[in-house]
Amino acid sequence: MYNKFIYFCGRKPTVLYKISFIFLIGLIYFCKRPVNSQSEYEQKIEKLHEYYKSQIKETYEISYSARNVEEAVQNFLKEVTTQTNEYKTLCDEKEIKEIFLPNNYNTGNITSFQEPEEAWKTIAIRRKFGLEKLERKLKGKKLELQEVKIKETRNLNALKGYILHPVVVISNQEKISIQEIKLIIENKGQFKVCIVSN
């Protein structure tokens, strides 16, 4: 019994030493790491945001722009009802990449963390489904714009962004609610529908 006790006591310090040694190695490794070290992903995002910031301009030339939010919505819906080939009253790929994305870089939404090409693909896919839904509801109909209300105004660096409550139109005495217009941008009095999604 005594020998067993000595044997047990002899093992115990060995286990403790091993645990202490592992803990000490981990502590040394942790202390060696720089306090403000960044991951590769964080460095990539920081570099991307620096790029976007460098592309911001005070003034832009926005094609087929409107004079206010309501007119931008009306012009866009007119295109939806008449044709589906090319939407001149909706920000195109160049305007998204050169105007919207740089000014959107610090909003925290998904496209603010994506390279321009990847962000455009994200927006374009959502836009496709949003336009298809709108066309099914509105194509070929005569519309009367009844209600356009701004839900929120956001400062997007050199732009202003307008988020709308659902737009209400009337067609043949039927009220239709439109929720697919997600964002209208403005720069120096130029308004244009920017983001459409389902």
pLDDT digits (tens, 9 = 90+) for 157-179: 999 999 999 999 999 999 999 99
List pLDDT tens digits, range 45-63. Answer: 999 999 999 999 999 999 9
Residues in the chain, how many? 198
Distance separating alpha carbons of residues 49 and 118, to the nearest angstrom: 14
pLDDT at res. 38: 76
Rounded to an integer, the average pLDDT of 57-86 is 94
Statement: residue 71 has pLDDT above 50: yes
Statement: residue 91 has pLDDT above 90: yes
pLDDT at res. 168: 98
Q: What residue ranges define each of the domains in the chain, with the CATH number in brackets? A: 64-196 (3.10.450)
Q: Mean pLDDT across the chain, nearest whole number?
A: 87
pLDDT at res. 83: 73
- Which secondary structure element, helix H or strand E, spans residue 122, and what is its range? helix 116-138
Rounded to an integer, the average pLDDT of 6-26 is 51
Local structure of 37: helix, strand or coil: coil
pLDDT at res. 9: 43
| Nearest one of 91, 86, 96 to 117, comparing CA atoms | 96
143 and 171 in contact (C-beta within 8 Å)? Answer: yes
Burial (CB count <10 Å: 0-12, 13-18, 19+), residue 89? buried
123 and 111 in contact (C-beta within 8 Å)? Answer: yes
Rounded to an integer, the average pLDDT of 146-150 is 97
List pLDDT tens digits, range 107-142. Answer: 999 999 999 999 999 999 999 999 999 999 999 999
Statement: residue 32 has pLDDT above 80: no
pLDDT at res. 89: 97
Percentage above 90 pLDDT, the chain: 78
Distance separating alpha carbons of residues 10 and 55, to the nearest angstrom: 70
Structure tokens given for 79 = 């295109």
pLDDT at res. 114: 98
